[in-house]
Amino acid sequence: MSAAAANDAAGTDATTADSALLDAARAWLAQDPDGETRAELRELISASEAGDATATADLADRFSTRLAFGTAGLRGRLGAGSNRMNRVLVGQAAAGLAAFLRGRWEEGSDAPCVIVGYDGRRNSDVFARDSAEIFAGAGLRAILLPRLLPTPVLAFAVRHLGASAGVMVTASHNPPDDNGYKVYLGGADEGSQIVAPSDAEIAAHIARVAERGDLAAIPRSLGYEMAPESVVEAYVQATAAVAPAGQGAEGLTWTYTAMHGVGWETLSHILEVAGYPAPVVVEAQIEPDGAFPTVSFPNPEEPGAMDLAFETAREAGAEFVLANDPDADRLAVAIPDEHAEGGWRQLTGNQVGLLLGWRAARLAAELGTTDAASLACSLVSSPGLAAVAEHYGLGFHATLTGFKWISRAPGMIYGFEEALGYLVNPETVRDKDGISAAVAMLGMATEARARGVGIAGLLAEFDETFGAFASDQISVRVDDVSSIGRIMAALRAEHPTAVGDVAVDRVDDLLEGVDGFPPGDVLRLWLTDGSRVIVRPSGTEPKLKLYLDVRGDSADDARGRIAALSAGARQLLEALG
DSSP line for 37-88 = HHHHHHHHHHHHHTT-HHHHHHHHHHHSS-PPPBTTBEEEEBSSSTTSBSHH
**Residues contacting residue 10 through CB under 8 Å, at least 6 positions apart:** none
> Is the pLDDT score of 514 beyond 90?
no
Residue 398 and residue 20: Cα distance in Å, rounded? 47
> Is the pLDDT score of 245 beyond 90?
yes
From residue 341, give the alpha-carbon distance in Å to each of 190, 350, 529. 44, 21, 32
Please choose, from the candidates 383, 344, 388, 354, the residue with its C-alpha nearest in 3D space to the C-alpha of residue 370.
Answer: 388
3-state secondary structure of 249: helix
151 pLDDT band, cuts 50/70/90, is very high
Residue 143 and residue 123: Cα distance in Å, rounded? 18
> Is the pLDDT score of 309 beyond 50?
yes
Q: Which of 180, 209, 227 is the last residue of a domain?
A: 227
What does the pLDDT average to over 506-521? 87
Give the per-residue pLDDT at 239. Answer: 98
pLDDT digits (tens, 9 = 90+) for 323-334: 999 999 999 999
Does residue 394 form part of some domain?
Answer: yes
DSSP state of 277: P
Beta-carbon-side half-sphere exposure of residue 486 (alpha carbons within 13 Å): 9
* Residues 346 and 492 grouped into a single domain: no
DSSP line for 109-131 = SPPPEEEEEE-SSTTHHHHHHHH
* Residues 260 and 393 grouped into a single domain: yes
* Residues 458 and 528 grouped into a single domain: no
What percent of the chain lies above the pLDDT cut of 90? 88
CATH of the domain at 488: 3.30.310.50
* Residues 381 and 481 grouped into a single domain: no
Question: Taking CA 159 as the corner, what is the angle to CA 169 and CA 111, rounded to the nearest 5 degrees?
Answer: 80
> Is the pLDDT score of 396 beyond 50?
yes
Neighbouring C-beta atoms of residue 111, cutoff 10 Å? 16
* Residues 444 and 475 grouped into a single domain: no
Does residue 92 form part of some domain?
Answer: yes
* Residues 214 and 108 grouped into a single domain: yes
> Is the pLDDT score of 4 beyond 50?
no
Give the per-residue pLDDT at 72. Answer: 82
Element spanning 268, H or E = helix 263-274
pLDDT digits (tens, 9 = 90+) for 361-370: 999 999 999 9
* Residues 433 and 354 grouped into a single domain: yes
Does residue 184 contact residue 89 with C-beta atoms inside 8 Å? no
Q: Which of 410, 437, 464 is the last residue of a domain?
A: 464
Does residue 85 form part of some domain?
Answer: yes
* Residues 188 and 237 grouped into a single domain: no
16 pLDDT band, cuts 50/70/90, is low
Give the per-residue pLDDT at 156. Answer: 98
Each as own residue / partner, the long-range contacts of residues 445-451 (CB below 8 Å, 24 or more positions apart, any chain) are: 445/248, 445/252, 445/254, 445/319, 445/320, 446/245, 446/246, 446/247, 446/248, 446/249, 446/252, 446/276, 447/246, 447/248, 448/248, 449/248, 449/249, 449/252, 449/319, 450/246, 450/247, 450/248, 451/248
pLDDT digits (tens, 9 = 90+) for 403-461: 999 999 999 999 999 999 999 999 999 999 999 999 999 999 999 999 999 999 999 99
Q: What is the mean pLDDT of the chain?
A: 94
pLDDT digits (tens, 9 = 90+) for 279-289: 999 999 999 99
Element spanning 206, H or E = helix 198-212
> Is the pLDDT score of 399 beyond 50?
yes
* β-pair type (412-417, 374-378): parallel
* Residues 214 and 249 grouped into a single domain: no
> Is the pLDDT score of 516 beyond 80?
no
Does residue 274 contact residue 249 with C-beta atoms inside 8 Å? no
**How many structural domains is the chain composed of?**
3
What percent of the chain lies above the pLDDT cut of 70? 97
> Is the pLDDT score of 9 beyond 80?
no
Residues classed as catalytic:
172
Does residue 43 form part of some domain?
Answer: no
Residue 521 and residue 512: Cα distance in Å, rounded? 9
Does residue 453 contact residue 248 with C-beta atoms inside 8 Å? no
Give the per-residue pLDDT at 15. Answer: 65
Residue 286 and residue 268: Cα distance in Å, rounded? 11
* Residues 285 and 422 grouped into a single domain: yes
**Residues contacting residue 145 through CB under 8 Å, at least 6 positions apart:** 115, 116, 117, 118, 128, 153, 154, 157, 227, 231, 232
pLDDT digits (tens, 9 = 90+) for 49-89: 999 999 999 999 999 999 999 878 999 999 999 999 999 99
> Is the pLDDT score of 470 beyond 60?
yes
Q: Pick the more confident residue, 17 or 326.
A: 326
CATH of the domain at 320: 3.40.120.10
> Is the pLDDT score of 108 beyond 90?
no
Q: Pick the more confident residue, 2 or 534.
A: 534
Neighbouring C-beta atoms of residue 317, cutoff 10 Å? 10
* Residues 476 and 563 grouped into a single domain: yes
Neighbouring C-beta atoms of residue 48, cutoff 10 Å? 21
Does residue 423 form part of some domain?
Answer: yes
Return the minimum-mean-pLDDT range out of 70-79, 125-134, 390-399, 436-445. 70-79
Residue 406 and residue 423: Cα distance in Å, rounded? 9
Give the per-residue pLDDT at 7. Answer: 44
> Is the pLDDT score of 3 beyond 80?
no
By CB atoms closer than 10 A (0-12, 13-18, 19+), residue 238 is middle
Give the per-residue pLDDT at 540. Answer: 64
The amino acid at residue 547 is: Y
Does residue 197 form part of some domain?
Answer: yes
Q: Which of 441, 464, 487 is the last residue of a domain?
A: 464
Does residue 3 form part of some domain?
Answer: no
Residue 41 and residue 34: Cα distance in Å, rounded? 11
477 pLDDT band, cuts 50/70/90, is confident
- Segments of 104-224 assigned E as strands: 113-118, 141-144, 165-169, 178-185, 192-193
Please choose, from the candidates 68, 130, 145, the residue with its C-alpha nearest in 3D space to the C-alpha of residue 94.
Answer: 130
Please choose, from the candidates 309, 324, 410, 338, the residue with its C-alpha nearest in 3D space to the C-alpha of residue 120.
Answer: 324
Domain that holds residue 246: 229-464
